[in-house]
Chain A
Amino acid sequence: MAKMKKKWIVLCSAAIGVIYASEYVASNFQAYLPQPRTRVGTDMQASGSLYPIGPTSTEGLLNAGNPIPSSSALPEKNGESPNAAANATPSADAPAKSPGSVNKRYNDGTYTGIGSNRRGSIQVAVTVKRDKITDVEISDFAMHYSESDVVDLPDQVLHKQSSQVDNVSGATYSTQAFEDAVADALAQAKIG
């Protein structure tokens, strides 16, 4: 185990190094291009033209009428210079109207949605671009996890998280609690 440890660290560092080496090249190119379309190094343009996917058969909230893979989120980060904030490049996105926009279902923009569950209320800011959710920010996180779901464990020496720790590690929790708030925001974005 101890011997393997070093190998995993090397592997992880190498993986991160590959990404940064390639993006460094890419960003240097972008500095000279007013409308960056080259994605040197990340190789991702190779996938952009691969095997078109048919419309999904499921009743998806988004994307269902949008069978063109090139309208996926992939091209967007293409135009994103390393110094730009996520929403700062609307002009780069404008020309890329896909055929899917004929039956466009949502207006582009950022919408605030509010939801609640038994733990409290949640406010989210959902950004929609070309019928895709590109960003969901929790703008007000007033959920309280103070109720124990299960109270059958014997009392142990437990630390109250809020007062004694800077942060908490645990099994990955899902975004289920946020779905109402996101749906609320999408309702406002919906066309017609």
Chain B
Amino acid sequence: MRRTKLYMDTVIDIQLETERSKAEAETAIERAFAAFRKVEDACSRFHPDSELMRACCQIGVSVPIGSYLFEPLKFSLELADWTSGIFDPTVGGTMEKLGFNRRYLTGEMADNPSDSSVSFRDIELDAHNRTLLLRKPMVIDLGAVAKGFAIDLAARELRQFERFIVNAGGDLIAGGADERNNVWNIGIRHPKRRDESVQTVNISNEAICTSGSYERRSAAFGGVHHIVDPRTT
């Protein structure tokens, strides 16, 4: 069984192979898709009514936030801390200015205030009260972590099945094994030839993610892509 839907401005493709009933499989697949919708509703910086963007309207105030926002935010702050800010979720304002401000399908443009000196150190997460406090105006970009979070949640809905793949626009998790080799054979896309792989990897009950500058280029500026170095922008 294979179903494909659009979330998070990408194509979510779920493949499921099972001896269980079709109805059971369909229900689980819907729940797996729902995980993407929930994470998107919480974490999108493109939807003005996402939980994230509503929270970003409040500066200097502790705002209670739900787990679908709190958890990926916490993870991204750990990454920011570990990399001393090379990875920084406050890059959202920069991304908007670089032309990554268009809401997919509807075409609405985002334009939100962001302090030019903002860094992840201006975000305070209170783990006890589950609140978020922003010290400066900023746009938080959870683009690097939210999809992986949703993939994990989706996989959890599907783990009862013998074999499945959740592929979220190129980041995927492969559960179980296929009938041939006991593994899933995953190609890594060639950066310039879309239908070819530069390498293949065998995985089983593992995830694999790929990024690159060959997708998500800026519509506003030629040559600008979606991976930026905070030290030079």
Residues of A within 8 A of B130 (CB): 43
Instruction: Count residues of B near A (Cβ-Cβ below 8 Å).
Output: 91
Do A170 and B195 have beta carbons less than 8 Å apart?
no
Question: A74-B41, A86-B34, A171-B210 are contacts. A153–B193 as well, Cβ < 8 Å?
Answer: yes
Do A72 and B214 have beta carbons less than 8 Å apart?
no
Residues 28-78 of A contacting B (Cβ, < 8 Å): 41-44, 46-47, 50-51, 53, 56, 58-64, 69, 72-74, 77
A135 to B49, CA, bound (A): 17
Neighbour of A138 across the interface among B6, B199, B210, CB < 8 A: B6
Do A171 and B187 have beta carbons less than 8 Å apart?
no
A137 to B36, CA, bound (A): 13
Instruction: Count residues of A near B (Cβ-Cβ below 8 Å).
Output: 76
Shortest CB distance B232–A (Å): 20
Shortest CB distance A119–B (Å): 9
Main secondary structure on B side of the interface with A? mixed
Residues of A within 8 A of B208 (CB): 169
Residues 97-129 of B contacting A (Cβ, < 8 Å): 103-109, 111
A170 to B168, CA, bound (A): 10
Shortest CB distance A30–B (Å): 14
Do B108 and A136 have beta carbons less than 8 Å apart?
no
Do B48 and A56 have beta carbons less than 8 Å apart?
yes
A168 to B5, CA, bound (A): 17
Do B196 and A160 have beta carbons less than 8 Å apart?
yes
Residues of B within 8 A of A159 (CB): 187, 196-197, 199-200
Residues of A within 8 A of B33 (CB): 86, 135
Of B51-59, B88-96, B134-142, the stretch lying at the interface with chain A is: B51-59
Shortest CB distance B150–A (Å): 10
Do B200 and A173 have beta carbons less than 8 Å apart?
no
Residue B172 lies at the interface, judged by CB distance under 8 Å to chain A: yes
